[in-house]
Amino acid sequence: MRSVEIVLALVVLATVVATFARRWSVPAPSLLVVAGVVVGSLPTVPDVRVAPHVVSLVVLPPLLYSAAEDLSWRDLRTVWRPVTVLAVGLVLASAAAVGVVAAAVAPLPASMAFVLGAILASTDPVAVTALGRRLALPPRVQALVQAESLFNDATSLVLFRVAVSVAVSASAISPAQVAARFVVLAGGGAAFGAVAAGGALLVRRRVIDPVLETVIALVTPYACYVAAEAAGASGVAAVVVAGVIVGTQTSRLTTAASRLHLHAVYGTVVFLLESVVFALIGLELPTLVRDLPGGQQRWPLDALAITGTLLTIRVLWVFPLSVAAQRQAGRRPSWRVPLVVSWAGPRGVLPLAAALSVPLTDNHGSPLPDRELLLLLTTAVIVITLTVQGFTLAPLVRGAGVALTVDDTTSDDQRAQSALNRAAADHLAGLTDSEVAPEHVIHRLRDDLDRRLQQTQTDRDDSGPTTDAYRRLRRDLIAVESTELTRLYNDGSISDVTRRRIQRTLDLEDTSLTQD
């Protein structure tokens, strides 16, 4: 019963905090973490301990899947080289640096210090996606930070499992064994994800019920994660690959009603899970502090040193990589984008899940040394990055002049809408002599399109009821506009954000015509 009460309290807390976050124009995850720490520090609040399966099995799959679906495949193809360098090289460098620093400043044995390094080596896709929704980043920069956070998990997961194996067995692992584990975890996870995506697409193409299709979309990440983990592969990699593949096909395989229903339901689920887990991170920190032995009270300084190490290593990787890429492209090096990318690396849900999964004992049944300190330092670094980077990232983006302006967004929307209106007008012109509908209906639709092309704000004359012929032809024109919208996106004329926004508007009109 206590668990149910805690969940309900977290939902209420998350709703209140999210309301104030929107009013104050601050990132909800950061404010939730702060609120969790404050509430968890109150003497009347019971200790909160997060069970490992709650984060890894209940929370992670749908959040990773949603973040992967939002990733633009077109933009991903333009940034795959820097993403690869960051997802492999930066993760290895971060893990090594944190391991060395943790072993030097924190009372952790070397084996546990490198476990901590592997846990904190990669940026978190859930945190990056949650914070990134508020930022008007250029498509390429948005794709870079989001793709890095999604694909660096495979590297950090292999490092984590290798480090844990060393810690619990006190034996070394050869490079060949590490490579084999990477192939099994990352390659196997990717294979499971591709198969799961293919199965989900095959089923959803044959489903026309929006409720049933939403259920399939909700079940897919869980089934993908569980199947991959049961086979010894990476469930995280499987969910990410499945989400990316399905995300490229969603607009083609679903109806307008299904897309709207899925967007509403999945948006609610993601909000609840993100809110609960970020609040839990904050709530758990005071509990971990209270349970820490008396001789380990230097943990705040240790956490700050580890956080500083992560930020320093990231800067040392991102800036030279950016300079080399800009010079290769014949452009003058700029500090603006690498500064934003360097600062857009918070830790969050995935490191917490990894820390919670560290075994309690080694292979001989003895308690694993300093596991509680490792969990505390992980949670503290997560809280620091979510608050410091979370609250300052948006001002940094604006101050660096990287953010897209309202004029940029408006221009993109107007360019797309004009092209859609012209495509619809051309299609309507071809129907004039075909007698597929009464002439007055075609004239009415043409008047609507003329008003749109002239960007007038006058209301359409609805003096008479909407006829079946009008609804049928308008839905045909919406299909033409959707096709043109996809072409504009594939040609690189508009951003993915613009495509999704206009597609949603078309879906709303399509659904209203169906229900009229």
Do 421 and 362 fall into the same domain? no
Q: What is the CATH number of the domain that holds 312?
A: 1.20.1530.20
Average pLDDT of span 170-186: 78
Residue 383 and residue 487 in one domain: no
Do 189 and 297 have their domain in common?
yes
Q: What is the three-class DSSP state of 64?
A: helix
362: region left, alpha or beta (phi > 0 left; psi from -120 to 50 alpha): beta
Q: What is the pLDDT of residues 357-378, one digit of tens each?
A: 898 887 777 888 888 999 999 9
- Angle (nearest 5°) at CA 82 between 78 and 88: 135
Q: Does one domain contain both 36 and 180?
A: yes
User: What integer pLDDT is reported at residue 453 of this predicted model?
Assistant: 63
Stretch 227-248: mean pLDDT: 91
pLDDT of residue 463: 42
Q: Which of 368, 403, 438 is the last residue of a domain?
A: 403
Strand ranges in 114-244 using DSSP code E only, listed in sequence order: none
- 380 and 257 assigned to the same domain: yes
Sign of CA dihedral 369, 372, 378, 381: negative
**Cβ count near 120 (within 10 Å):** 29
- Which of residues 381, 403, 425 is at a domain's end? 403
* Angle (CA) 18 215 225, round 5°: 80
pLDDT in tens, 34-56: 999 999 898 888 888 888 888 88
What is the full DSSP assignment across 303-366? Answer: HHHHHHHHHHHHHHHHHHHHHHHHHHTT----SHHHHHHHH-----HHHHHHHHTS-SB-TTSP
| 217 shares its domain with 260 | yes
Per-residue confidence (pLDDT) for residue 286, from 0 to 100? 92
Q: Say yes or no: 139 and 257 in one domain.
A: yes
- Examine the domain organization and report whether 334 and 435 are in the same domain: no
Mark whether 154 and 240 lie in a shared domain: yes
Same domain, 283 and 314: yes
pLDDT digits (tens, 9 = 90+) for 95-145: 999 999 999 998 888 889 999 999 999 998 888 888 877 777 888 888 899
What does pTM read for this prediction?
0.86
Check whether residue 377 and residue 411 sit in a common domain: no
Same domain? For 463 and 478 the reply is yes
Q: pLDDT band at residue 436, thresholds of 50, 70 and 90?
A: low
Strands (E), 75-157: none
Q: Count of domains in the chain?
A: 2
Nearest of 488, 491, 490, 485 to residue 506 by alpha carbon: 485
Domain of residue 217: give its range: 2-403
**Structure confidence at residue 383 as a pLDDT band (50, 70, 90):** very high
Among 357, 373, 403, residue at a domain's last position: 403
Mean pLDDT of the region 224-228: 94
